[in-house]
Amino acid sequence: MITNFDQNQSILQILFAYVDSLTIGGVPPVTGRPPICRKALLKCFFLKTVFQIDSLRKLNRFLHQYPSFRASCGLSFVPHISTFSRVGAWFRKEGIPAIHEKILQELNLGLIPCVLIDSTALRSSLYDSQARWGRSTRYGWYRGYKAHVCSTPEGVVLSYTFTTANIHDSKMAPVLLQDIEGQDVLFSVADAAYDSQSIYKIASTCDIFPVNPINPRNGEQIKSS
């Protein structure tokens, strides 16, 4: 059942308009059918997110059930699940990073006084064999993944990465900081989970001053200021 239709429709209109402005090629045909525009499939993935559809199988069923949404994405037929899976992998590895880089270039942020580092839990289907168990403050124990993000206080994402839920936040923070080494950043702010010598070392290399509370679990280890 679709809820908050008007609000979601407005969000989708904005997202779809942005997708239309991008330059993205088609999906090479593998079964003799004409190529499918990657823009159309990206719109389908936005549908999946906005309406909280938790699997490609359910997305496929959704597009069959609501032809108007399929048409608004620019599709004359519903692609096979394997096509969604293949194109989703391409977006994760190539498409989204390229779009993200283009957005940052257009924003031309200049001096960034402060960045925020944190992660968020992404619960997955129980049938996802690649998902792992982890713990979050919101869900407690859950099965799925994590999105690790470094952003400005205004919400501009500067760097990001995805892991399974069992990966500790502090292990990915150095990766996030290394990815913004070319940005002019003064401070990084994170919670006590990021109180780690490896993070301080990478921050120093990137000429960023880290501001993290001391984690009580680290005992009486002395931190240099």
- For the segment 4-9, the average pLDDT, to the nearest whole number, is 74
Domains of the chain by residue range: 5-104, 109-218
Give the Cα separation of 53 and 200 in Å (integer).
39
What sign results for the dihedral spanned by CA atoms 177, 183, 186, 188?
A: negative
Q: How confident is the model at residue 201 (pLDDT cuts 50, 70, 90)?
A: very high
What sign results for the dihedral spanned by CA atoms 113, 118, 124, 128?
A: positive
What pTM, to 2 d.p., does this model score? 0.77
- Cβ atoms within 10 A of the Cβ of 71, count? 11
pLDDT at site 132: 95
Give the Cα separation of 192 and 110 in Å (integer).
28
Residues paired with 159 in a beta bridge: 150
**Dihedral angle, C-alpha 57, 58, 60, 62, nearest 10 °:** 170
CA 162, 121, 155: angle at the middle one, nearest 5? 75
CB 199 within 8 A of CB 217: no
Give the Cα separation of 132 and 195 in Å (integer).
24
Q: Per-residue pLDDT tens for 84-131? A: 999 999 999 999 999 999 899 989 999 999 999 999 999 887 778 899
CATH number for the region 109-218 comes to 3.30.420.10
Q: Could you write out the DSSP letters of every residue in the chain?
A: ---SHHHHHHHHHHHHHHHHHS---EEPPSSSSPPEEHHHHHHHHHHHHHTT--SHHHHHHHHHH-HHHHHHTT-SSPPPHHHHHHHHHHIIIIIHHHHHHHHHHHH---EEEEEEEEEEEEE--TT-TT-EEEEETTTEEEEEEEEEEEE-TT--EEEEEEEETTS-HHHHHHHHHHHTTTSEEEEEE--GGG--HHHHHHHHHTT-EEE-PPPGGGTTPPPP-
Percent of the chain with pLDDT over 70: 89
pLDDT at site 222: 46
Give the Cα separation of 70 and 178 in Å (integer).
40
pLDDT at site 16: 94
